[in-house]
Chain A
Amino acid sequence: MATPTPTTDLPQAMIEAMTPAADWVIVLPIVFGLMGAAALLTMRRSNSTPLLVALAVVFAIIACEVTLLLRVLADGPVSMTMGKWLPPFGISLTADIFSAAFALGAAVVTAIVLVYAEIDRGDAQEADTFHAMVLLLLAGVTGAFLTGDLFNLYVWFEVMLIASFGLIVFGGRPIQLDGAVKYGFLNFLATTFFLLALGLLYGLLGTVNMADIMRVAPAANPAAMAGVAALLLLAFGMKAAAFPVNAWLPASYHTPPASVSALFAGLLTKVGAYAMLRALVAVLPGSRDLLEPVMAMIAISTLVIGPLGAIAETNLRRAVGFIVIGGIGTIMAGLSMPSLLGVAGAGLYIFHALFTMTALYMIAGLVEKRTGATDSRQMGGLYAASGSISVIFLVLVLAAAGVPPFLGFWPKLLLLEAGFSQGATGPAPGTVGVVLVIALLVNAVLTLIAGARLWGHIFWRSGPIDAAPSDAPRLLAPLTGRGRVGYAATAVLTALIVVAGLWPEPVMQGARLAAGDIVDPARYVEAVGLAGETP
């Protein structure tokens, strides 16, 4: 070919200046997590205090993320692109308020669970890889929250998945292997569906950068895009355990030690919900509008079926798993009403669930340690023996159900407002909004019934179901040593939830601001550096 060599304008394709040092704060949390996991893995035989090393790494991550969150709150979204290629060619990490806040919440929860996990660990059990895998899980979750590239999101999903595989079989009891088979297959299937959707999206648009997709998606064939969005909804719905594809969660979350269940309940399903918020509401809003009836149906059925499962279940941690599923329904309800209030409610609920669902599993673990049973039929009479555990349990049940003044109430308030306003301003009478409001209230009542029933069975009645009223309750010895550490960790997390619930103004303001960037992503696109260009 004898065509003359075209002249190349390097600044159009490459980043020529160094990334400013301040922008590194967005990649450092992931780097710390991965490096910390690698270091703990190589030191696992020589290091006698893996907990302290892991905590130091997590606190470094928290410091970075606080800096990042303050910066995002002040200046809007921050973006950093890897490998000198300009976006959309290089892989961008992009943080807006929701992603930075969720990443910070995930790191705080991980720090508390790392301390709590001492309760499940014996004194002889030092040379293992538990802490390394927790750090790897945190790196995967943080990466998923902070990435601005859909294929990169897939990679972080898999990092998270392989770390969670290691944690769920940790200890290798037969019941864990049973749970892990179901957890492993269905979650791997979900990420394969995600990859399938990505392949089609790349074929249609030629890009996988989120900000770039926002620019070019409106010009693509709406029917084909709706198909991609439906596949994404299926994949993320499986990850988040929304109703028709939720069976893996109650089949597996109660099998590992309580600390691992707590970590999973806080982090994993919330990443699925966040991915739905990001990919469907922010990146592909046009296709989301087409899928809105489907999403509303999923939301309503998840809201009702989740707590009904909890009422029918006697295994304590399985019942908590169903309450987690009901919470996913609340997030789906927000995603079905993409107004500012609806998105703010969904985001704030994700933030609330990060803390509350983790704390619920932690207190369930403490109850199991005190009663020596996993089934609420075999529990009873714990109120007299340990009043503080019963108070924490009740507080967390009220927070999960969304009773004021606890943290769970505020996102539901935003969602109720969103539901009613959707009815008032829509072109058609907004029956969907009103039905969603009813489903949210039904969910709150059913969650309250399930939680109060568990509380009554575990704490209030005098003994197990088969015991005579005169028998002394069958309890194990009070918590000592490592048990008290776990108890203190649960109390600290619950105190955080109560304080945030009593003083909700900062998180409410933050959620409204963050929702503004999701509903109108102009600042997000501008931060990545793609504003103003014609596709």
Chain B
Amino acid sequence: MDYVLAALVGLFIAMGVYLLLSRSVIRMLIGMTILGNGVNLLIFTAGRVTREVAPIIPSALEQPSGPIANPLPQALILTAIVIGFSMFAFLLVLAFRAYQSLDADNTDTMRLAEPEQTPNPPLSY
């Protein structure tokens, strides 16, 4: 199972990197999300996938009576999902606003902040 998940993580990250290399901002955004999900899956796999029971301790006991699933990766991933989603929401709005005011979904034509073909710096001083 670990090997299947590891291959899936690799596939997700490869897809994310491929989409991030695109010039279109929307494709980059989708690539960012897929990359983020690949990383979440990696944390899940790194926490050891088992077939044990859920990490719930019966009320009569003070610690689990046998092996249980690892609850920590779930806490880590949940945090990462929430953060990743909020970043995705912000970047989506930003991409839309940039498309509206710069009239560009292409990073090659977004050159307001770094103008192309500026003359050479002055040679004085």
Contacts and interface: CB of A to CB of B under 8 A. Distances in A.
A465 B86 CA distance: 46
A162 B91 CA distance: 10
A181 B107 contact: yes
Contacts of B112: 174-175, 178
5 contacts: A169-B97, A175-B112, A199-B76, A203-B45, A456-B124
A43 interface: no
Interface of B: 20, 25, 28, 32, 35-36, 39, 42-43, 45-48, 61-63, 65-66, 72-73, 76, 79-80, 83-84, 86-87, 90-91, 94-95, 97-98, 101-102, 107, 110-114, 118, 121-122, 124-125
A219 B74 CA distance: 26
Contact of A188 (B87, B95, B118, B125): B87
Given A178-B110, A182-B107, 19 more contacts: A5-B61, A5-B62, A10-B62, A162-B90, A174-B102, A178-B98, A178-B113, A181-B94, A184-B91, A185-B32, A189-B20, A189-B35, A192-B36, A192-B39, A192-B84, A198-B76, A199-B42, A202-B76, A313-B121
B121 to A, nearest CB: 5
Interface stretch (A249-257, A478-486, A505-513): A249-257
Nearest to B63: A8
B113 A254 contact: yes
Interface string A177-198: 1111110110011001001101
B91 to A, nearest CB: 5
A106 B83 CA distance: 24
A377 interface: yes
A453 B94 contact: no
Interface residues of A, number: 53
A163 B79 CA distance: 17
Given A177-B98, A181-B110, A251-B113, A189 B63 contact: no
Contact of A155 (B62, B63, B83): B83
Contacts of B46: 199-200, 202-204
A246 interface: no
Contacts of B110: 178, 181
A3 interface: yes
Contact of B90 (A165, A202, A203): A165
Contacts of B72: 202
Given A185-B28, A188-B32, A202-B73, A177 B122 contact: no
A182 B91 contact: no
A158 interface: yes
A313 B76 CA distance: 43
Contact of A251 (B35, B42, B114): B114
Nearest to B111: A178
B121 A181 contact: no
Nearest to B17: A189
Contacts of B65: 1, 3, 5
A377 B110 CA distance: 23
Contacts of A177: 94, 97-98, 101-102
A195 B98 contact: no
Given A177-B97, A178-B102, A184-B90, A311 B113 contact: no
Contacts of A6: 63
A196 B91 contact: no
Contacts of B73: 202
A377 B122 contact: yes
A60 B94 CA distance: 34
Contact of A200 (B42, B87, B97, B111): B42
B25 A181 contact: yes
A465 B110 CA distance: 28
A198 B102 contact: no
Contacts of B48: 203
Nearest to B41: A199
A192 B113 contact: no
A314 interface: yes
A457 interface: yes
Contacts of B97: 169, 172, 177
B125 A3 contact: no
Contacts of A312: 121
Nearest to B97: A177
Given A6-B63, A175-B112, A195 B80 contact: yes
Interface in A248-279: 250-252, 254-255
Contacts of B94: 165, 169, 177, 180-181, 184
Contacts of B45: 203
Contacts of B47: 202-203
A231 to B, nearest CB: 11
A393 interface: no
A311 B121 CA distance: 8
A10 B66 CA distance: 18
A452 B91 CA distance: 39
Interface in A230-245: none
